[in-house]
Structure 1
């Protein structure tokens, strides 16, 4: 499924990369969200019978385009693609084989070459590691995913989570014990360019992803009365400085997760790293943006202690 909105500069290459796949048995669902730049004329110039082109009557957003395509899809599998990216010729073939040989996997992604920047994804490959990595952020390249139609049709995308609808989908899937994987091979060319995400959408994306991340952390089944959403949300993705009592409570919350993690079927060694890193980022944020009034002691001493040993800093804070 290929959503399009004003992608004149890239859409022809994107479509052709799908039509050139070594796995030829597919339908290409293209959904245009009322483009005004000539994208429609380029799409219409392709005459391949595998193309199903839907022109929306009103501009209603990316997520609605994806869900329309999911509803229309007739195949056993669904692949994602963006209008500014390029799929390598054997992408579908390799992902199809992977899912056929791994019936427990719901969706698989791939690695990608990056055009227009120095971004390196380096996402984990196994389901347990991906679950754990989702506690920090996205863990599959959205336009690279290839999955079972029944999964997409059951869960779909949540329009209210756009433009972090992909991260929301992945977190909901793992909470429902669906297994995700990544093929450690670059089968997509991922394009970076200035028109992708505005600053306003970036802020909205962060807020949406933060809500989804909070739901994923609730999978630990911690005491939500003792550790309310307002505290946990800022502990996992800090946007305001905690006063000392709140910071102590947040540190205790992180400690409580260590006793609860044994009940989870995830990568425990990697989880230890993730929790320590997120706690470190919280402490760093508070010290960077706080001041001596926030912590009741000489702020310079606190900051120096944190730089020397975050572990000693935590002990000192709790004492």
Structure 2
């Protein structure tokens, strides 16, 4: 998990509690402070360390580097064979890790395992959306051509596979999409579970961040990687490029309607 100064302390507190109270508790929680945090955020982290100190490895960077760089650093500090991702404002369902570990044990060839998310505003009792992603390897490959096939905060990934493909890189808001392309093009087996594993917090700002001209160069680089990896044809790449580039220009309020009513179904 990476956290930065703009996160709300109460959201971080809820996220950490949802990890600590799992039916299968992780043997290590790697928390990256991506740049200096507010005193209230630091206090939340200290409180959790006091109660569950043996679980926490907290690392601090001098400057905010962005999610991709923070995860690249953080994943290098994980001691286990499998790494579970989590965002600092989301809430994991109580048996998330239990469900995923059972699936991994039943399918030892898996390299990457994700699941479904519910989207909520303010409270997990107020579900406002649901992002469905495809389940099996074949459907994930097809989905990848136009859209991100994994809900990033639900993912568990094999550390050896992650390292073999070069790990996370700084790619704007697309660091996870780039990683999935590298994993899938390596021939690794991937899967999504049908279960909701994480309640994802959403707001107006989230839909705004999915656009923006600053992401345009990463969209073009991703399109190039998809083509060079043999995952899309020239025609498919052009369609993907048009859709993604259009997404950077539409207003945030329209993007919110499209995501909630079309893209997430």
TM-score normalised per structure 1: 0.66
Q: Is the 8 A contact 2:162 2:183 kept in 1?
A: no
> 2:242 is matched with which residue: 223, 238, 245?
238
State whether structure 2 residue 46 is matched by structure 1 residue 60.
no
Please give the alpha-carbon distance, in whole angstroms, between the structure 2 residues aligned to 1:66 and 1:152.
11
- Which protein has greater RCO, CA pairs closer than 8 Å, 6+ apart? 2
Other-structure match for 1:4? 3
Offset, 1:151 = 1.6
> 1:186 is matched with which residue: 183, 196, 202?
196
Q: Which moved more, 1:137-146 or 1:32-41?
A: 32-41
Other-structure match for 2:252? none
Other-structure match for 1:38? 40
Please give the alpha-carbon distance, in whole angstroms, between the structure 2 residues aligned to 1:12 and 1:54.
17
State whether structure 2 residue 141 is matched by structure 1 residue 126.
no
3-state SS of 1:21 partner: coil
CA 65–13 in structure 1, closer or farther in 2 if over 3 Å, else same: same
CA 222–162 in structure 1, closer or farther in 2 if over 3 Å, else same: closer
Please give the alpha-carbon distance, in whole angstroms, between the structure 2 residues aligned to 1:157 and 1:197.
23
CA 197–65 in structure 1, closer or farther in 2 if over 3 Å, else same: farther
State whether structure 2 residue 168 is matched by structure 1 residue 157.
yes
Q: Is the 8 A contact 2:185 2:231 kept in 1?
A: no
Please give the alpha-carbon distance, in whole angstroms, between the structure 1 residues aligned to 2:65 and 2:56.
22
Unaligned runs of 5+ in 1: 240-280, 282-319
Please give the alpha-carbon distance, in whole angstroms, between the structure 2 residues aligned to 1:132 and 1:153.
25
Please give the alpha-carbon distance, in whole angstroms, between the structure 2 residues aligned to 1:182 and 1:203.
31
Please give the alpha-carbon distance, in whole angstroms, between the structure 2 residues aligned to 1:206 and 1:13.
34
Alignment of 1:90-109 (within 5 A): 90-109=95-114
Alignment of 1:60-79 (within 5 A): 60-79=65-84
Q: Which moved more, 1:52-61 or 1:111-120?
A: 111-120
Please give the alpha-carbon distance, in whole angstroms, between the structure 2 residues aligned to 1:234 and 1:17.
41
Structure 1 or 2: more strand by fraction: 2
> 2:89 is matched with which residue: 84, 98, 101?
84
Q: Is the 8 A contact 1:163 1:204 kept in 2?
A: no
Q: Highest CA radius of gyration, 1 or 2? A: 1
3-state SS of 2:45 partner: helix
- How large is the RMSD of aligned CA atoms in angstroms? 2.6
Please give the alpha-carbon distance, in whole angstroms, between the structure 1 residues aligned to 2:99 and 2:219.
30
Offset, 1:201 = 6.0
Unaligned runs of 5+ in 2: 122-126, 247-265
